[in-house]
Amino acid sequence: MPTRTDICRAIDAYVSFLGSHDVDRLVALFHEDAVQHEPLGVRSYRGIDEIRRFDTENAQMDFTVSRLSPITVVGRFAATQLKVSAQGMPDFVATDLFEFDDDCKIVSLQVLPDLQATVGGPEPA
């Protein structure tokens, strides 16, 4: 099983590659049979080819990401919140939930983007 340090490094690499739109290095973090739910409950991408197609299309959009919260690790599972900045809209928060295999490859990623959870603003009542 990967260590906490391994998982944190993998997530920081994920954030870096996602933000720099480096699809090849981003996809290399995933297991070949991984599943990415983005957004959770709406669309799922199964296997490295579907994930690559999604990430290639996503990389065409003008956005940046940065880690907003610490990384929480429990065994092979981890979560963190990301600040997403996209042109023409307020920054928002996405919570990413990861599962890793024994080689520290992502086997499951669940993305919960919340466009109403703005960064630095008050939460709605």
* Mean pLDDT taken over the chain: 93
- Dmax over Cα atoms in the chain, in whole Å? 43
Structure-block tokens of residue 24: 């090849």
pLDDT class of 121 with cuts at 50, 70, 90: low
CA distance 28 to 109: 14
- Which domains are delineated in the chain? 4-115 (3.10.450.50)
Average pLDDT over residues 20-26: 97
Percent composition of the chain: helix, strand, coil (DSSP 3-state, to 5): 25, 40, 30
Tokens 């391994």 locate to 6
Would you state the pLDDT for residue 41?
81
Q: Is the confidence at residue 124, as pLDDT, over 70?
A: no
Give tens-digit pLDDT for 62-111: 999 999 999 999 999 999 999 999 888 889 999 999 999 999 999 999 99
Would you state the pLDDT for residue 123?
57
Average pLDDT over residues 27-34: 98
